[in-house]
A and B are shown apart, each in its own frame.
Chain A
Amino acid sequence: MTYAIETNALVKSFSTTRALDGVDLRIRQGSVYGLLGPNGAGKTTTIRILSTLLKPDSGTARVLGHDVVREPKLVREKVSLTGQFASVDEDLTGHENLVLVGRLLGLGWRAARQRASELLDAFDLEEAASRQVSTYSGGMRRRIDIAASLVAIPEILFLDEPTTGLDPRSRTQVWDLVRGIAAEGTTVLLTTQYLEEADRLAERMAVIDHGKVIAEGTSRDLKTSVGSNALHVQLSNTEQRALAYDIIARVVGDDGMLPAAEPTDVIARLENPAQAAAVLTALTSDSIEVAQFSVGSPSLDEVFLALTGHSAETAQENES
């Protein structure tokens, strides 16, 4: 079958850092796909290669069947990019910005103006239409930016961290927009640092770390790969953590222990739910104070920890 996006062993270095170290992706048409990873993982670099802004050092990337290096023009005719930084002219009004993009896509003046008004209405920006973008709030800026990518409906929309820095209400608004866009048949590839965002929007996702895809699948696949029965123990007293860790490890085995993000937590993979009872008994007999005890699917945060060995939030490396 043909994929909307297909990459093979993409490699890209910037002076000393290797941003991409062999990225393979297969993304089906008509879906929302998430690229999940911390800062510096290579998400932006991947998206910039796919939208023809960067050339890979080696490896190939095909977008809608076109090679991004050999046929960049054909790719540009079918995709839109909303980068991490607002890519609109702040001195111009919202309406003027959309007319500008419409004209540069090949619309006539009249069609460009009409399309601009349509989009401003749909994005709840009609009142701000004749104000300069420099006066917009963060959420409005993001919306005008996404609107600019939809002046002509692309076959693929790239969204680079669409909700980073937005308040919860604006974030929900952007999520609704993304769902609306995908429902109309546009393939959306979005990058995010928020596991919750990928979980909510994307049917499939790739977890990317240090320039490599370390896991791929649906949100459920990823959770299952870490173990469907995750035991989550929250302690009342941090000092008892080492002791509790040993007790639990004795029941599930050292291999079953998973790294935890919080100092009060111990997380383990159970071979069967019955082990939970054994753990609880052992903990109580050693008078460990347990604040919370649960068995269930791991959260994506835990998945990330299990896959990378470090938490998604602590990785600090800047992406160029």
Chain B
Amino acid sequence: MSTTHEVLATRARPKPPSALSSVTTLAWRAMLKIKHVPFQLFDVTVTPIMFTLLFTFIFGGALGGSPRQYVQYLLPGVLVQTIIFITVYTGVGLNSDIHKGLYDRFRSLPMWQPSPLFGALAGDVFRYGAASLVIVIVGLLLGFRPQGGVVGVALAIALVMTFCFALSWLWIIAGMLVRTPESVMTTSFVFLMPLTFASDIFVDLSTMPGWLQAAVGRNPVTYLAKASRGLMHGEPVWAEVGWVLLASAVITAVAAPIAMRLYHKER
């Protein structure tokens, strides 16, 4: 027990970490979780491949003349839909941390308290990036030819990520309010299915009845899909880009403080 003796001896405690250092560390943890539970990546790789293939070949002929023509329209939107679906994992992960008691440990450490939230968001960058890459590659194989080139595609992905970060705050709130990770999932689908399908991701607005056009036209996802399409094809629609940025800012401004307050609330 002589080694134990030394290991347990009192020593000077280190200086508490900076906010940047604790966020980086928690982002590292998020990456380790992906490494140890690679199944998490199934949803961000296989699902988008499946979506892209299914929609391109099933709807392609009917909606765009041919799958090859349709994929030019569809791909930027499928990217939007996929990443939006992945945002829910932020809330799911947070919920399981809270219920497993890990948050008690985090909260009793002398670090900048919101670090775990930002660490989780940093981990999301990887997931979003991986999914985007997969979709773009599948698209290229199916004949997707973005006129905006690498820069246009990169800008579109950046815009989608910005919106999805804002959306993540909503799942962080949901993750703290509901009891189980499964219910975060269920809640999210009730919300995300209509949000993404009632948009112009799959079909052009002009094909819909007037009343539906009005609703779908106001859906932020429609703006995001339009903006993403414009950027990828080298015909940026700046008004839509502006609206998406504004929507992201508003969601963040409202949801982030609520999330922070809930996070600090005792349970």
Contact = CB atoms under 8 A, between A and B. Distances in A.
Given A54-B266, A105-B110, A122 B7 contact: yes
A192 interface: no
14 contacts: A52-B108, A53-B107, A80-B108, A87-B100, A88-B105, A103-B22, A104-B22, A105-B13, A105-B16, A119-B7, A152-B14, A153-B9, A153-B11, A180-B4
B111 interface: yes
Interface residues of B, number: 38
B8 interface: yes
A181 interface: yes
A85 interface: yes
B36 A132 contact: yes
Interface residues of A, number: 49
Given A92-B32, A92-B33, A100-B29, A153 B105 contact: no
Given A80-B108, A89-B33, 19 more contacts: A53-B104, A53-B107, A77-B16, A78-B13, A81-B105, A85-B100, A85-B101, A87-B102, A88-B105, A90-B100, A103-B22, A104-B106, A104-B115, A106-B17, A121-B3, A153-B11, A153-B13, A184-B5, A184-B9
B215 interface: no
B105 A83 contact: yes
A84 B100 CA distance: 10
Contact of A86 (B3, B22, B37, B101): B101
Interface of B: 1, 3-5, 7-11, 13-17, 21-22, 25-26, 28-29, 32-33, 36-37, 97, 100-102, 104-111, 115, 266
Interface string A137-163: 000000000001010110100000000
A75 B130 CA distance: 41
Interface in A11-56: 48, 51-55
Nearest to B15: A106
A237 to B, nearest CB: 49
Given A107-B14, A122-B3, A91 B37 contact: yes
A243 to B, nearest CB: 52
A92 B25 CA distance: 13
Interface centre among B1, B3, B101, B105 (most CB of A within 10 A): B105
B89 to A, nearest CB: 13
A150 B11 CA distance: 11
A315 B216 CA distance: 59
A59 interface: no
Given A90-B100, A103-B22, A180 B105 contact: no
A81 B7 contact: no
Contact of A122 (B8, B10, B28): B8
B7 to A, nearest CB: 4
Interface centre among B14, B33, B108 (most CB of A within 10 A): B108
A87 B105 contact: yes
A81 B17 contact: no
B102 A106 contact: no
A99 to B, nearest CB: 9
A51 B32 contact: no
Contacts of B106: 104
Contacts of A185: 10
Interface of A: 48, 51-55, 73, 76-81, 83-93, 96, 100-101, 103-107, 111, 118-119, 121-122, 132, 148, 150, 152-153, 155, 180-181, 183-186
A53 B104 CA distance: 7
B267 to A, nearest CB: 9
A128 to B, nearest CB: 14
Nearest to A118: B7
Interface centre among A86, A153, A181 (most CB of B within 10 A): A153
Contacts of A53: 104, 107-108, 266
A87 B104 contact: yes
B7 A103 contact: no
B8 A104 contact: no
B17 A181 contact: no
A304 B182 CA distance: 42
Contacts of B3: 121-122
Contacts of B28: 100, 103
Given A77-B16, A180-B4, A153 B110 contact: no
Nearest to A153: B10
Contacts of B25: 100, 103-104
A79 B5 CA distance: 20
A85 B37 CA distance: 22
A48 B4 CA distance: 28
Given A53-B108, A76-B109, A132-B36, A153 B14 contact: no
A184 B1 CA distance: 13
B29 A89 contact: yes
Contact of B110 (A48, A77, A103, A181): A77
Given A89-B29, A92-B32, A104-B22, A81 B10 contact: no
Interface centre among B16, B17, B22, B110 (most CB of A within 10 A): B110
